[in-house]
């Protein structure tokens, strides 16, 4: 929360609240005080009025009393005398309208009724005898006579209207008098109550709110004369029924008191009552509480208004002043914040000439100083940073150097002591052995203490002492130096061949030779043995070469024998076989006479077996020729179409016999090729033959493709197919796969073996196969259009037969 609302909320408002409360309390106290005072005044006033009225009525009653005393104490009177007495008594009392002495019948001179009455008329006092005015006052209806007669006590009557007489509203005081101990009559005074207050000197009182009532509740005084003698309870306008109870109680109490009455309209009345003891009456004065407190209420309203105005004024003034104070402070706070955020350039404007202005000036000064100090700080910070960085780098370098040093020392110690190479450190100036390592001790079979702190001259391990100076000098002069070989003797007398090498190290001006000794004794021995063996090996190689040459010679001879065998086989087997086939064919056809069925069957078997054998022999010879590299090739130009036509024509009858179709898919243009026609045809027929042999329905499709330098035959059949696991066996010699067609199809198991040999070894192409069992197979052969001269005939038969000896054989050949 900002400072302005804070000040208003926590300072101004509480102050006003405080003053407001004080004023309220003061108002309450004043109101209570004034209330009490008004009430006391009212009470006093009521009492005062009551006393004045009391004096009057007592005066009046005393007149009746005097008259009564007079009558009681005289036995006989003259009639006129009585009038005179009464007249004198009332003459000076304006309140008394009239007075009488009413005798009991027979009491005054034997007369039945006699009541001399004197009263104030307009033109002075007048007199009459009530008894002769045929007014029988002894009747019970006339209370003023009847009740004292009955009780023997004085009585103030209730107010009544004296009709016919004075025509006024009056009350009568009756006093009984006695003669010779018996009731003899009453003396009375009649009071004109319409003049009661005037006579009592109470003209100035608030007539509207002053009432006198008798004990039975009849008005003796009321500002409205019409109400005189009437009961207050019937005056519901001024005394609402709601007040009746309270008022009755008060009037019964006959003591001075003050009480509050509320009217139905919410108006509050303060009522004071005081007894008029002389006549058993009550005087009531009432006052409107609101009116009584009007002044104090007015004052309170005025005060409240003043407080509100003061509050508003104070708020406005405070707000203005606070704005004057707070705004610059707010600006200062904002600037302080900017400075804190590192913007020391924030402007500080000193506006006013008061404390805030002073503060702004101080602030500006401070900001400037801060700026300067920050600049200085930044500068020193930068310097410090550089210094720290330099120190850090220096320290790091030192630590690194120390680490390296320690590490290299340790490394050196480890390397020195545990090195398998023998090391010693020699002081250069006198050849003193300062340190030797374990390998050095082992090499010379000396103990550490036998070597260290001795000069190399003292320890005699030189075999050829003559070489010593030369080697020592060499080590001392050259750096780093590796001397020549020399021989040392161990403590047990063994001779070791060593090569000492030295590195010159200078520490604190002293030079040392860090010398390593390489023991080459074993190497020397091995070298010697190797030389010996090499010489022996050369002899061995010569012997073996001779042996090989002999074996080679023998092989050539064997090969010649094999060639001869094959040639003779070709001739010797084929000639009789052809005879067997030819003659059995003739026999079968019946050219040599009729044969029995059995004979015909046997001849047919001979014919077939002969053909099979011939086929086998032809294949075997072919294979051996190829393997021996003795195949004669005859490349020539020919049309591929003619070759394909020939192959299809050859195979067609076989296909027809099995109801298989043969289809050729030709290339875009039939190429001409230069290759061995016979071998190409052989291969194609072989594959086509197999396709027919191993198919039972469908057909064979031969697709011919021209592929630039190559051409390709693809033979697809719808035969029994080949299981994937059998594919690798397909091109093996004598390999015939298991199938239900195996017997029926016949064959040697050499066809594909030979075909591949011809294609790869002679024609320079290759054969591949794809097959799915039960669906069919596709054999693809492709080969160059122009056969390469390297194929076939140029093969070296020895190389083919003995490939593992090739390198050796070649190297021995001249």
| Distance, CA of 285 to CA of 297 (rounded, Å) | 23
Question: What CA–CA distance (Å, rounded) separates 586 from 603?
Answer: 10
Lookup: tokens for 506:
């200078």
Residues 644-703, interacting with ligand ADP (CB under 6 A): 690-691, 694
Query: Whose Cβ is closer to ligand ADP: residue 631's or residue 691's?
Result: 691
Cβ 745 to ligand ADP, closest distance in Å?
6
CA nearest to 559, candidates 804, 791, 733, 802: 802
Residue 243 and residue 502: Cα distance in Å, rounded? 145
Structure letter (DSSP) for residue 763: I
Interface positions, 700-719, toward ligand ADP (CB under 6 A): 717, 719
Distance, first Cα to last Cα, the chain: 116
Angle between helices 677-693 and 640-657 (to 10 degrees): 30
* Residues linked to residue 674 through DSSP beta bridges, in sequence order: 637, 786
Structure tokens at 697: 């329905």
Instruction: Give the nearer residue to ligand ADP in terms of CB position, either 517 or 715.
Output: 715
Nearer to ligand ADP, 270 or 694 (CB): 694
The C-alpha atoms of residue 69 and residue 88 are separated, in whole angstroms, by 15
- Token duo for residue 310: 């003061």
Helix ranges (DSSP H) in 77-206: 79-91, 143-151, 196-199
Q: Among residues 159 and 719, whose Cβ is nearest to ligand ADP? A: 719
The secondary structure of residue 462, as a DSSP letter, is: B
Give yes or no for residue 777 binding ligand ADP (CB under 6 A): yes
Which of the ranges 48-56, 112-120, 198-206, 745-753 carries the binding residues for ligand ADP, by CB under 6 A? 745-753
Which of 131, 751, 784, 792 forms a contact with ligand ADP (CB under 6 A)? 751
Minimum distance from residue 747 beta carbon to ligand ADP (Å): 2
Contacting ligand ADP within 600-619 (CB under 6 A) = none
The answer for residues whose C-beta is within 8 angstroms of residue 184's C-beta and 6 or more apart is: 71, 72, 103, 104, 107, 177, 178
Nearer to ligand ADP, 143 or 736 (CB): 736
CB contact set of 206 (below 8 Å; sequence gap of 6+): 285, 287
Selection from 665, 755, 756 nearest residue 713 by Cα: 665
Residue 791 C-beta: closest distance to ligand ADP, Å: 21
* Shortest Å, Cβ 567 to ligand ADP: 25
Residue with Cβ nearer ligand ADP (648 or 722): 722
Range in contact with ligand ADP (rule: CB under 6 A) among 122-130, 183-191, 741-749, 781-789: 741-749
Residue 718 CB, shortest distance to ligand ADP, in Å, is: 10
**Least distance CB 690 / ligand ADP (angstroms):** 3
What radius of gyration do the chain's Cα atoms show? 85
- 8-state DSSP, 231: B
Query: How far, in Å, CA of 606 to CA of 593, rounded?
Result: 17
CA-CA-CA-CA torsion for 56, 57, 59, 61, nearest 10 degrees? 170
Q: Which is nearer to ligand ADP, 431 or 749 (CB)?
A: 749
720 binds ligand ADP (CB under 6 A): yes
User: Would you count residue 118 as binding ligand ADP (CB under 6 A)?
Assistant: no
Binder of ligand ADP out of 4, 371, 736, 785 (CB under 6 A): 736
User: Among residues 130 and 720, whose Cβ is nearest to ligand ADP?
Assistant: 720
Between 107 and 717, name the residue whose CB sits nearer to ligand ADP.
717
To the nearest whole angstrom, how small is the minimum distance from the Cβ of residue 625 to ligand ADP?
18
- DSSP codes of every residue in 195-228: GHHHHTT-TTS-GGGEEEE-TTSBEEE-SSGGGT
Closest distance between ligand ADP and the C-beta of residue 633, in Å? 22
Residue 441 binds ligand ADP, judged by CB under 6 A: no
User: Please, what is the minimum distance in Å from the beta carbon of residue 712 to ligand ADP?
Assistant: 17
Strand 766-772 versus strand 635-639 pairing type: unpaired
| DSSP character string of 610-657 | HHHHHHHHHHHHHHHHHHHT-----EEEEEHHHHHHHHHHHHHHHHHH
Segment interacting with ligand ADP (CB under 6 A) among 162-170, 412-420, 478-486, 746-754: 746-754
Output 57 or 767, the one with its CB closest to ligand ADP.
767
Which of 71/688 has CB closer to ligand ADP?
Answer: 688
Q: Among all residues, whose Cβ is closest to ligand ADP?
A: 747
Of the pair 459, 727, the CB lying nearest ligand ADP is at: 727
Closest separation in Å from C-beta 730 to ligand ADP: 5
Interface with ligand ADP includes 54 (CB under 6 A)?
no
Residue 748 binds ligand ADP, judged by CB under 6 A: yes
- Measured in whole angstroms, the distance separating CA 199 from the mean position of its chain's CA atoms is 101
What phi-psi label fits residue 164: left (phi over 0), alpha (psi between -120 and 50 degrees) or beta?
Answer: left
Tokens of 343: 């913007």
CB of 692 to ligand ADP, least distance (A): 8
Among 747, 764, 765, 784, binds ligand ADP (CB under 6 A): 747
CB of 754 to ligand ADP, least distance (A): 8
Please identify, using beta-carbon distances, which residue of 214 and 690 lies nearer to ligand ADP: 690
Q: Dig out the tokens for 153 from the structure.
A: 């006590």
Q: By rule CB under 6 A, what count of residues binds ligand ADP?
A: 20
Nearer to ligand ADP, 172 or 686 (CB): 686
Question: Tokens representing 220?
Answer: 């003796």
What span, in angstroms and rounded, lies between the C-alpha atoms of 21 and 18? 5
**Interaction between residue 722 and ligand ADP (CB under 6 A):** yes
Check binding of 197 to ligand ADP (CB under 6 A). Answer: no
Which residue number, 229 or 751, has a Cβ lying nearer to ligand ADP?
751
Q: Which stretch binds ligand ADP (CB under 6 A): 111-119, 296-304, 466-474, 751-759?
A: 751-759
159 binding ligand ADP? (CB under 6 A):
no
Residue ranges of E strands in 342-485: 422-427, 432-436, 481-482
Stretch that binds ligand ADP, among 445-453, 512-520, 734-742, 791-799 (CB under 6 A): 734-742
Find the shortest distance in angstroms from Cβ 762 to ligand ADP. Answer: 17
Only one residue has tokens 């006003």, namely: 16
Task: Give the footprint of ligand ADP on residues 285-304 (CB under 6 A).
Answer: none
Shortest separation between residue 748's beta carbon and ligand ADP, angstroms: 5
Q: Judged by CB under 6 A, does residue 261 bind ligand ADP? A: no
CB 256 within 8 A of CB 44: no
DSSP conformational letter for 459: S
Tell me if 730 contacts ligand ADP by CB under 6 A.
yes
Q: Which of 255, 808, 236, 169 is nearest to 552 (CA)?
A: 808
Work out which of 87, 698, 699, 749 binds ligand ADP, going by CB under 6 A. Answer: 749
Beta carbon of residue 688, minimum distance to ligand ADP (angstroms, whole number): 9
Choose between 36 and 659: whose C-beta lies nearer to ligand ADP.
659
Q: How far apart are CA 692 and CA 695, in angstroms?
A: 5
**C-alpha torsion 264→265→270→276, nearest 10:** -50
Interacting residue ranges for ligand ADP, rule: CB under 6 A: 690-691, 694, 717, 719-720, 722, 730, 735-737, 739, 747-753, 777
């Amino acid at each position: 929360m900002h400072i302005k609302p804070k000040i208003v909320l926590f300072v101004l408002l509480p102050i006003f609240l405080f003053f407001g409360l004080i004023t309220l309390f003061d108002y309450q106290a004043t109101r209570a005080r004034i209330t009490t005072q008004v009430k006391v005044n009212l009470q006093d006033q009521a009492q005062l009025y009551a006393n004045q009225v009391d004096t009057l009525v007592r005066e009046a009653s005393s007149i009746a009393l005097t008259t009564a005393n007079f009558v009681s104490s005289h036995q006989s009177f003259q009639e006129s005398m009585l009038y005179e007495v009464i007249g004198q008594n009332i003459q000076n009392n304006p309140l008394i309208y009239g007075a009488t002495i009413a005798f009991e019948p027979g009491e005054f001179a034997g007369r039945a009724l006699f009541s001399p009455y004197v009263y104030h008329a307009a033109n002075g006092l007048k007199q009459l005898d009530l008894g002769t005015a045929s007014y029988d006052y002894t009747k019970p209806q006339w209370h003023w006579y009847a009740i004292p007669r009955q009780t023997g006590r004085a009585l103030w009557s209730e107010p009544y209207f004296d009709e016919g007489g004075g025509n006024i509203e009056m009350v009568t005081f009756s006093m009984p008098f006695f003669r010779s101990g018996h009731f003899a009559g009453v003396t009375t005074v009649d009071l004109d109550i319409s003049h009661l207050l005037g006579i009592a000197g109470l003209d100035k009182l608030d007539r509207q709110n002053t009432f006198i009532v008798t004990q039975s509740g009849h008005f003796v005084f009321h500002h409205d004369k019409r109400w005189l003698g009437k009961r207050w309870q019937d005056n519901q306008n001024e005394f609402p029924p709601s007040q009746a109870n309270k008022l009755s109680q008060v009037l019964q109490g006959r003591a001075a008191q003050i009480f509050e009455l509320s009217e139905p309209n919410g108006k509050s009345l303060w009522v004071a009552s005081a007894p008029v003891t002389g006549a058993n009456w009550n005087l009531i004065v009432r006052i409107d509480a609101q009116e009584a407190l009007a002044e104090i209420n007015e004052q309170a309203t005025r005060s409240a208004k003043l407080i509100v105005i003061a509050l508003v004024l104070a708020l406005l003034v405070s707000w203005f002043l606070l704005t004057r104070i707070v705004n610059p402070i707010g600006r200062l706070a904002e600037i302080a914040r900017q400075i804190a955020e590192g913007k020391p350039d924030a402007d500080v404007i000193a506006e006013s000439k008061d404390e805030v202005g002073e503060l702004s000036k101080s602030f500006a000064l401070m900001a400037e100083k801060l700026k300067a100090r920050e600049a200085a700080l930044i500068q020193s910070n930068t310097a410090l940073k550089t210094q720290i960085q330099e120190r850090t780098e220096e320290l790091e370098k030192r630590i690194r150097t120390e680490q390296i040093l320690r590490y290299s020392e340790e490394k050196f110690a480890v390397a020195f002591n545990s090195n398998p190479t023998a090391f010693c450190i020699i002081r250069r100036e006198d050849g003193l052995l300062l340190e030797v390592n374990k390998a050095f001790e082992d090499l010379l079979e000396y103990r550490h203490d036998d070597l260290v702190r001795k000069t190399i001259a003292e320890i005699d391990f030189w075999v050829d002492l003559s070489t010593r100076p030369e080697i020592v000098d060499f080590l001392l002069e050259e750096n780093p130096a590796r001397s020549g070989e020399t021989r040392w003797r161990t403590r047990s007398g063994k001779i070791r061949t060593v090569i000492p090498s030295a590195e010159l190290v200078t520490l604190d001006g002293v030079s040392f030779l860090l010398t390593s000794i390489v023991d080459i004794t074993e190497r020397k021995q091995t070298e010697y043995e190797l030389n010996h063996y090499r010489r022996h090996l050369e002899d061995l190689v010569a012997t073996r070469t001779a042996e090989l040459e002999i074996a080679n010679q023998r092989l050539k001879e064997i090969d010649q024998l094999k060639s001869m065998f094959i040639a003779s086989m070709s001739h010797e087997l084929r000639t009789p076989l052809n005879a067997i086939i030819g003659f059995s064919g003739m026999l079968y056809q019946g050219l040599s006479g009729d044969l029995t069925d059995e004979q015909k069957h046997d001849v047919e078997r001979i014919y077939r077996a002969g053909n099979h054998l011939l086929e086998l022999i032809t294949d075997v010879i072919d294979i051996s020729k190829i393997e021996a590299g003795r195949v004669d090739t005859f490349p020539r130009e020919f049309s591929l179409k003619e070759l394909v036509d020939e192959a299809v024509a050859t195979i067609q009858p076989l296909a027809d016999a099995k109801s298989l179709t043969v289809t050729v898919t030709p290339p875009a243009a039939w190429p001409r090729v230069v290759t061995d026609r016979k071998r190409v045809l052989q291969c194609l027929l072989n594959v086509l033959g197999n396709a027919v042999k191993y198919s039972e329905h469908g057909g064979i499709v031969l697709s011919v493709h021209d592929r630039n330098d190559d051409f390709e035959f693809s033979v697809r059949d719808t035969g029994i197919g080949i299981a994937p696991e059998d594919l690798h066996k397909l091109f093996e010699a004598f390999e015939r796969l298991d199938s239900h067609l195996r017997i029926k199809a016949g064959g040697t198991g050499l066809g594909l073996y030979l075909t591949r040999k011809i294609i790869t070894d002679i024609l320079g192409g290759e054969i591949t196969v794809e097959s799915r069992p039960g669906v069919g197979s596709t054999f693809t052969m492709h080969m160059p259009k122009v056969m390469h001269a390297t194929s076939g005939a140029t093969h070296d038969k020895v190389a083919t037969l003995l490939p593992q000896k090739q390198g050796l054989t070649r190297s021995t050949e001249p």
